[in-house]
Amino acid sequence: MARASSKHDRDQALDFQGFLNDLQDWEMSLNDKDKKLKSRGLVKEKLETRVVDEDRKLVAKAAISDNSSNARQYDYSRNYDSITHLSGDFMKEESSPDATSEKELGNEYFKQKKFKEAVDCYSRSIALSPTAVAYANRAMAYLKMRRFQEAEDDCTEALNLDDRYIKAYSRRSTARKELGKLKESIEDAEFALRLEPHNQEIKKQYAETKSLYEKEILNKASGALRSSMQKVGKSKVEVNKHVGAVQSVSRSSQKIVTAAIQEDHNKKNHKKQELKASVQELAARAASLAKAEVAKNITPPNSAYQFEVSWRGLAGDRTLQARLLKVTSPVALPQIFKNAMSAPMLVDIIRCIATFFTEEMDLAVKYLENLAKVSRFDTIMMCLSSTDRADLHRIWDDVFCNNATPMEYAERLDNLRSSYCPKQ
């Protein structure tokens, strides 16, 4: 019996020694992985604390192992399972990078001016979970690398995810300025400024881009003027040649030569007029074809920015603006504009609605009802100028609520009057 008990104790000692060896191996492996994670700044202090706590518990339980062999075996099994589970979680965290960690690592590389590495990290973050911030951050890295087209594309993707992300508008404005798209750059900066009117950086960006655009327009105008002046100069040279020829002939033939020159001049003027008329006709036809083509390509906007850019592009043509409005569902207006509607835009839309109210009353009233549901509508109405207020009152009385308006629509419009035409 004594020999059996001694053999049993030796077996248990060997088991425990094997367990300690396993523990040491696991600890060395864990330390190696810990060093790797620390080099990337991803080691979690909380997890380290949990591991240390588990180690302490294990040692404490091993120290009292002589209480009973069953208890020792139970503690060994339970703690080994616990640490194995903890190790599995740790390995899983190491082998499964998350989008946020990649983005933060990209930020660190950006601070170190390692823009290529930052782009790689942001790209992995986007692949794991695309966000407006990740796209905009990668765009900023592209700007630093002077890859302006990629920067513009990334900002557009960011705005597709969040159409009120000011940094994306600002960075796309910068990219477009570098690409020579000055008009589009101004539109981005202007829209960002509307979202955040007191942002001094965006104010500066808007002013600089606008100044560049105005210089470009001035240079084009100056070039056209110089070209015209050169043509005028050539005409003067031709006239002087004719005058010299006239002075060289005798007085008796001077009238004949002058008449011939005048006739030649008249013929040239006639041809110029015919050419001008022909050019104007071609221009009118081209404009008509362009207008038809634009009408075909009008698509429903998904954001306030898209709507406003399209609306401005069709400025001066109420027919095309009405078409843009009609391809946009009335019930979608509050979601499209959110809280980015401006007072001038609201008044202009109402003026456009007035142009097709008589032909499509039901649709026009639906637009008016849903515009009133746009966020901060009451605040927008308070910002109207006295001229716009007077214009709205006139439209309401002369167009929307005149004697020819059917009763079913007149009642709905009367209910809307207090919203659109508040008492002074």
User: What per-residue confidence (pLDDT) applies to 361?
Assistant: 87
Residue reference for tokens 């900002």: 155
pLDDT tens sequence across 245-257: 445 544 544 555 5
- Residue 36 within a domain: yes
User: Highest mean pLDDT: which of 79-93, 176-190, 218-232?
Assistant: 176-190
pTM exceeding the 0.85 threshold for the entire prediction? no
Both 116 and 81 in one domain: the answer is no
Which candidate, 197, 147, 194, places its Cα nearest to that of 174?
147
User: What per-residue confidence (pLDDT) applies to 83?
Assistant: 43
- Residue 282 within a domain: yes
Which residues, 6+ apart, have CB-to-CB distance to 320 below 8 Å? 291, 294, 295, 298, 314
Checking 343-350 for CB contacts under 8 A at 24+ apart, the result is 343/380, 343/381, 343/383, 343/384, 343/385, 343/388, 344/388, 345/308, 345/311, 346/371, 346/374, 346/380, 347/384, 347/388, 347/391, 347/392, 348/311, 349/325, 350/392, 350/395, 350/420
| Contact present, 176 and 185 (Cβ < 8 Å) | yes
Total domains present in the chain:
4
User: What per-residue confidence (pLDDT) applies to 158?
Assistant: 93
Q: Is 366 exposed, middle or buried (0-12, 13-18, 19+ CB in 10 A)?
A: middle
Question: Mean of the per-residue pLDDT values for the chain?
Answer: 75
Both 287 and 347 in one domain: the answer is no
Last residue of a domain, one of 213, 246, 264: 213
pLDDT tens sequence across 101-119: 999 999 999 999 999 999 9
- Residue 219 within a domain: no
- Residue 372 within a domain: yes
Q: How far apart are CA 259 and CA 241, in angstroms?
A: 15
- Residue 355 within a domain: yes
User: What per-residue confidence (pLDDT) applies to 341?
Assistant: 82
Both 351 and 379 in one domain: the answer is yes
Both 268 and 293 in one domain: the answer is yes
Both 198 and 292 in one domain: the answer is no
Mean pLDDT is lowest, of 93-107, 183-197, 358-372, 396-410, for 93-107
- The token duo for 285 is 């036809």
Which residues, 6+ apart, have CB-to-CB distance to 364 below 8 Å? 353, 356, 357
pLDDT tens sequence across 120-171: 999 999 999 999 999 999 999 999 999 999 999 999 999 999 988 999 999 9
User: Highest mean pLDDT: which of 13-17, 108-112, 334-338, 346-350?
Assistant: 108-112
CA dihedral 76, 81, 87, 90 (to 10 degrees): -140
Both 18 and 84 in one domain: the answer is yes
User: What per-residue confidence (pLDDT) applies to 70?
Assistant: 44
Both 181 and 82 in one domain: the answer is no
First to last CA, the chain: 109
Last residue of a domain, one of 48, 72, 95: 95
Mean of pLDDT values over 196-214: 89
User: What per-residue confidence (pLDDT) applies to 13?
Assistant: 55
Percent of the chain with pLDDT over 70: 60
- Residue 85 within a domain: yes
Domain that includes residue 371, residue range: 304-420
Using pLDDT thresholds of 50, 70 and 90, give the confidence band for residue 80: very low
Output the CA angle 249-250-251, nearest 5 degrees: 125
